[in-house]
């Protein structure tokens, strides 16, 4: 059944687990995520970006979600808008059956220009009021995360929270977070805690803490009723990089957020963990492998099926690692 982000994350907070939010763009990804949720008895957050909505078409995407919910009646499904950029994008998501929307007012509507605090509060407050009238949850964002636009985060030096984040101004300020939540009434808040979007997060293997745990802890302590969201949470596994590169890919060496760091974050109040890159890599690795091993093959099902299986495996791992498993 469909549930809101508020319902799902209230349960996660009560029982101390985290919920991965997986990006969805097509049927294969939807089936793969749901198979993993069913196999591990996990509630699930499916999230669609603006890019996903225009790629799949809003109508097709909405019916796809209907289908997924129908085949897995035992799995609670939150359908969430990832990085909404204005009031209209959030309103139309609600019309198409989303149970949660992100209004990312940390950026202007172009999705790249940093916005000031007053702009962020005003637009998020408006969306929050509208969404709550419709019984839909809202995620806001406060702070500066790595690049969204290119899909490549600003590579950090991998030197642990202090080294990486010597530029403190990038981290969300807890005082501002408290004011922001009071003014906007968001259910969940994405904060800048040391991660960035895309595959290129760290240029060296992180040798210590990656996340600004003190920031997470303090915001969680002062906003116990607001659920913390961590964007840019892919771990960029070495074995997936290897498969891609072994079969003709050209990914540069890179490191993501170690799963143990995410687990520490969950202990300190992180509830929603956004993952897209890892699943993209899982699928692409298999597609490259199958096509290069079977050069005469041209039936898409022959490479999409293994791609789905690789994605299911990754999702299943995350459901287990984040403690989501068994909570459906
Ligand atoms: O945060 C961004 C997500 O990875 C979605 O990316 O906008 O290319 O669909 P996208
Ligand atoms: P990754 O690029 O680390 O998978 O992050 C995805 C994300 O934050 C979507 O909002
Ligand atoms: Zn994001």
Q: The CATH number of the domain where 245 resides is what?
A: 3.20.20.70
Q: Pick the residue whose CA is nearest to atom 5 on ligand 1.
A: 49
**Binding site per annotation, positions:** 83, 104, 141, 197-198, 231-234, 274-277
Q: Is residue 40 part of a domain?
A: yes
Q: Which of 82, 173, 187, 278 is catalytic?
A: 82
**Structure-block tokens of residue 238:** 């070495």
Whether 25 is in a domain gets the answer: yes
Atom 3 in ligand 2: residue holding the nearest Cα: 232
pTM: predicted TM-score of the whole model, two decimal places: 0.95
Quick check: is 185 in a domain? yes
* Ligand 1 atom nearest to 55, measured from its CA: 9
Nearest atom, ligand 2, residue 277 CA: 4
State yes or no: is 175 an active-site residue: no
pLDDT of 157: 45
Which residue, judged by its Cα, is nearest atom 8 of ligand 1? Answer: 51
d(CA 136, CA 97): 9
Ligand having the closest approach to the CA of 277: 2
Closest residue by CA, ligand 1 atom 4: 276
Q: What pLDDT, on the 0 to 100 scale, is given for residue 165?
A: 40
Paired tokens of 27: 């049927």
Q: Which atom of ligand 2 is nearest to the CA of 279?
A: 4
Provide the b/e sequence for 35-72 (b: ≥16 CB within 10 Å). bbbbebebbbbbbbbbebbeebebeebbebbeebbeeb
Work out the number of other CB atoms within 10 angstroms of the CB of residue 313: 14
pLDDT at site 155? 45
Q: Which residues surround ligand 3, an ion (CB under 5 A)?
A: 231
ipTM: 0.99
Query: What pLDDT, on the 0 to 100 scale, is given for residue 208?
Result: 83
- Is 97 in contact with 65 (CB distance < 8 Å)? yes
Residue 75 lies inside a defined structural domain of this protein: yes
Q: Which residues line the pocket of ligand 1, CB cutoff 6 A?
A: 23, 49, 51-52, 82-83, 148, 151, 197, 276
Picking from 281, 280, 233, the residue whose alpha carbon sits closest to that of residue 18 is 233
Nearest atom of ligand 1 to the alpha carbon of 25: 9
In a domain, 327, yes or no: no
Strands 44-48 and 77-84: parallel
328 belongs to a structural domain: no
Cα end-to-end span (Å), the chain: 10
List residues near ligand 2 (CB under 6 A).
Answer: 23, 82-83, 197-198, 231-234, 274-277
The DSSP line for 94-117 is: HHTT-SEEEE-TTB-TTSSSBPPH
Q: Which of 52, 151, 194, 233 to mutate to test the pocket of ligand 2 (most atoms within 8 A of CB)?
A: 233
Number of structural domains the chain divides into: 1
- Range list of β-strands (E), 194-280: 227-230, 270-275
Mean pLDDT, consecutive 10-residue stretches, the chain (328 aa), reads 98 98 99 99 98 98 98 98 98 98 96 94 98 98 69 44 46 96 98 94 90 95 98 98 98 97 97 98 98 98 98 99 99
Strand ranges, E, within the chain: 19-23, 44-48, 77-84, 100-103, 137-142, 188-191, 227-230, 270-275
pLDDT at 235: 98
Query: Distance (Å, rounded) from C-alpha 95 to C-alpha 5?
Result: 17
Distance CA 248, CA 212 (A): 36
State residue 154's pLDDT score.
47
Q: For residue 190, which phi and psi values (nearest 5 degrees)?
A: -85, 125
How many whole angstroms separate alpha carbon 45 and alpha carbon 82?
A: 11
CA separation, residue 267 to residues 85, 161, 196, 261 (Å): 30, 17, 21, 10
What pLDDT was estimated at residue 207? 85
Atom 9 of ligand 2, nearest CA residue: 274
The helix-helix angle for 174-184 and 117-133 (nearest 10°) equals 40
The pLDDT of residue 153 is: 46
Q: Is residue 202 part of a domain?
A: yes
Q: Which domain holds residue 25?
A: 5-321
326 inside domain: no
């Amino acid at each position: 059944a469909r549930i809101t982000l508020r319902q799902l994350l209230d349960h996660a907070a009560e029982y101390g687990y985290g919920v991965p939010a997986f990006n969805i763009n097509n049927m294969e990804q939807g089936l793969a995520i749901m198979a993993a949720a069913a196999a591990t008895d996990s509630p699930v957050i499916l999230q669609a970006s603006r890019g996903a909505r225009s790629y799949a078409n809003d109508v097709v995407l909405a019916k796809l979600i209907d289908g997924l919910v129908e085949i897995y009646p035992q799995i609670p499904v939150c359908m969430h808008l990832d990085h909404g950029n204005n009031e209209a994008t959030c309103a139309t998501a609600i019309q198409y059956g989303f149970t949660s929307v992100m209004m990312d007012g940390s950026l202007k509507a172009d999705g790249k220009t940093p916005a000031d605090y007053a702009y962020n509060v005003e637009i998020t407050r408006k969306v929050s009021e509208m969404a709550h009238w419709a019984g839909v949850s809202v995620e806001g964002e406060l702070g500066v995360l790595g690049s969204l636009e290119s899909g490549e985060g600003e590579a950090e030096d991998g030197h642990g929270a202090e080294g990486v984040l010597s530029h403190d101004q990038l981290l969300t300020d807890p005082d501002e977070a408290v004011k922001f939540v009071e003014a906007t009434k968001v259910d969940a808040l994405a904060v800048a805690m040391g991660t960035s979007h895309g595959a290129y997060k760290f240029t060296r293997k992180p040798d210590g803490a990656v996340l600004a745990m003190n920031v997470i802890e303090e915001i969680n302590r002062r906003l116990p009723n607001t659920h913390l969201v961590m964007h840019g949470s892919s771990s960029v596994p070495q074995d997936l990089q290897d498969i891609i590169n072994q079969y003709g890919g050209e990914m540069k060496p890179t490191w993501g957020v170690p799963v143990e760091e995410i687990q520490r974050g969950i202990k300190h109040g992180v509830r929603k963990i956004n993952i897209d890159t890892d699943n993209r890599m899982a699928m692409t690795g298999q597609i490259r492998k199958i096509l290069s091993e079977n050069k005469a093959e041209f039936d898409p099902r022959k490479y999409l099926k293994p791609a789905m299986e690789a994605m299911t495996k990754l999702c299943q791992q995350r459901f287990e690692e984040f403690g989501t498993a068994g909570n459906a």
